[in-house]
């Protein structure tokens, strides 16, 4: 039978998603000073669960609070207090309302740990981000023992997720975070068993998958988010992604989410080069640009090599486009992210026919090249646009976490300013 967005999906582990719409992972920044879940998570995820999606992915839940994606992340770092466990249970209860699955995305930020959190992050090699500004420090190369510790941390976080009522986990292996860094020959220049060949560079990801599966059992959904490419010359290539996907398929993965890009190349949100050296950027395929979804063409190549279910997030706007992608067999789950920041009930509207497409604001959230005057520095405008858009959507999540409605009239520059202030305030409050 031809699948559409309303079709249920049976996963290899035996679990079933009630429909093919999933809320993509988005950073929330709602954790408390000890990086525990809060009532704001409960309010936000209950609202999303009641919105009708078959599955919700959380934002980054960090396996090491020393190396987080932002100050307000939730972190599962060592043994959890009774208060932390209780908070996670409430989070899970809210996110599984209305028959929704709630999968915890588990992650380690690696060199993309902001300096507000840690001025000396860790990475496979001591290679800093090629970006304007001083948001990120130069990383320190990890020791072999630290790499083994990271594997144990992922398994521990997954077991806590299962024990507290989350119905699945997603291992973040994309977007330039630690596992993605190990996969990239541009970032990972190690000469030991964790670097060099693709087999060695993929070792961390595969060992994490195996450790997580051992921790949660065969009947619990285990997913991975993987870049289709880094879009950086010398980085993780599409051909690499296809090979790694075949290895993940052999591990019995329940769902592979196909994404792409890093902080330097933020194609995951439809934006282009953010580096100081744009000549290193690779151009997306024209066929992908012409399509509705950013990574669908890349998923098609991966589909030809694997049998596990595939999810694609990024760029989907119309029911017609979503159903066409599902009917083609290229993918099995449609990920929707930023539209849920503006209309948390959009999945139900798409499923019922009350809406034919999702809201889109990205094109209006952009400062012109002369915003700071006729000689505005290009890199500064680029940074303001990138972080301003990020801030705009993050602030909408903060509003919903506080029990308010989104504010679509918010300006991108004020969002940049208020987001930066909020991050600094959150970082200052962290209990180190």
- Domains of the chain as residue ranges with CATH: 9-355 (3.20.20.70)
SS3 state at 317: coil
Question: What is the pLDDT, as a whole number, of residue 146?
Answer: 98
Question: What is the pLDDT, as a whole number, of residue 141?
Answer: 98
Question: What is the pLDDT, as a whole number, of residue 380?
Answer: 54
Question: What is the pLDDT, as a whole number, of residue 287?
Answer: 47
Q: What is the dihedral of CA 148, 154, 157, 161, to 10 degrees?
A: -150
Question: What is the pLDDT, as a whole number, of residue 46?
Answer: 98
How buried is residue 278: exposed, middle or buried, by Cβ count under 10 Å (0-12/13-18/19+)?
middle
- Distances in Å between the alpha carbon of 342 and those of 231, 252, 316, 357, 364? 29, 35, 15, 13, 14
φ and ψ at 259, to 5 degrees?
Answer: -135, -155
Low-confidence residues in the chain, pLDDT < 70: 1, 131-133, 230, 232-233, 262-293, 361-387
The tokens describing 234, both together, are 């010398």
SS3 state at 224: strand
Could you report the per-residue pLDDT of 251-261, keeping only the tens digit for each? 999 999 998 87
Question: What is the pLDDT, as a whole number, of residue 252?
Answer: 96
CB 216 within 8 A of CB 252: no
Question: What is the pLDDT, as a whole number, of residue 373?
Answer: 52
Question: What is the pLDDT, as a whole number, of residue 234?
Answer: 75
Question: What is the pLDDT, as a whole number, of residue 269?
Answer: 43
- Distances in Å between the alpha carbon of 13 and those of 99, 159, 276, 339, 416? 18, 16, 44, 30, 42
Question: What is the pLDDT, as a whole number, of residue 259?
Answer: 87
């Amino acid at each position: 039978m031809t699948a559409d967005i309303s079709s249920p999906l049976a996963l290899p582990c035996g679990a079933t998603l009630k429909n093919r719409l999933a809320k993509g992972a988005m950073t929330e920044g709602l954790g408390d000073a000890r990086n525990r879940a809060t009532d704001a998570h409960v309010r936000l995820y209950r609202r999303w669960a009641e919105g009708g999606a078959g599955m919700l992915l959380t934002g980054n839940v960090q396996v090491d609070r020393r190396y987080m994606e932002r100050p307000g992340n939730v972190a599962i770092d060592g043994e959890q207090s009774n208060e932390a466990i209780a908070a996670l249970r409430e989070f899970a209860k809210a996110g599984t309302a209305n028959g929704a699955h709630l999968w915890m995305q588990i992650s380690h930020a690696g060199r993309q740990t902001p300096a507000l959190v840690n001025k000396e992050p860790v990475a496979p090699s001591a290679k800093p981000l090629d970006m304007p500004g001083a948001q990120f420090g130069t990383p320190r190369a990890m020791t072999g023992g630290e790499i083994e510790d990271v594997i144990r941390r992922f398994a521990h976080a997954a077991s806590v997720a299962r024990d507290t009522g989350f119905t699945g986990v997603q291992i973040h292996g994309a977007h330039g975070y630690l596992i993605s860094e190990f996969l990239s020959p541009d970032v990972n220049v190690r000469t030991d068993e964790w670097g060099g060949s693709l087999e060695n560079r993929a070792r961390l990801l595969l060992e994490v998958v195996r450790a997580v599966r051992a921790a949660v059992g065969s009947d619990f959904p285990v997913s991975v988010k993987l870049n289709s490419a880094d879009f950086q010359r010398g980085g993780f290539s599409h051909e690499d992604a296809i090979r790694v996907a075949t290895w993940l398929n052999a591990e019995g993965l329940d769902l592979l989410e196909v994404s792409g890009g890093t902080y330097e190349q933020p194609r995951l949100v439809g934006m282009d080069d953010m580096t100081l050296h744009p000549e290193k950027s690779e151009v997306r395929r024209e066929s992908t640009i012409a399509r509705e979804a950013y990574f669908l063409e890349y998923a098609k190549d991966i589909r030809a090599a694997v049998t596990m279910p595939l999810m694609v997030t990024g760029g989907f706007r119309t029911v017609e486009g979503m159903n066409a992608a599902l009917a083609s067999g290229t993918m099995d789950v449609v990920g929707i992210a930023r539209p849920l920041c503006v209309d948390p009930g959009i999945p139900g509207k798409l499923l019922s026919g009350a809406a034919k497409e999702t809201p889109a604001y990205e094109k209006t959230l952009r400062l012109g090249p002369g915003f700071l005057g006729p000689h505005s520095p290009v890199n500064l405008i680029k940074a303001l646009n990138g972080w301003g858009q990020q801030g705009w959507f993050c602030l909408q999540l903060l509003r919903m976490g506080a029990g308010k409605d989104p504010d679509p009239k918010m300006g991108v520059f004020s969002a940049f300013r208020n987001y930066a202030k909020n991050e600094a305030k959150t970082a200052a409050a962290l209990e180190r």
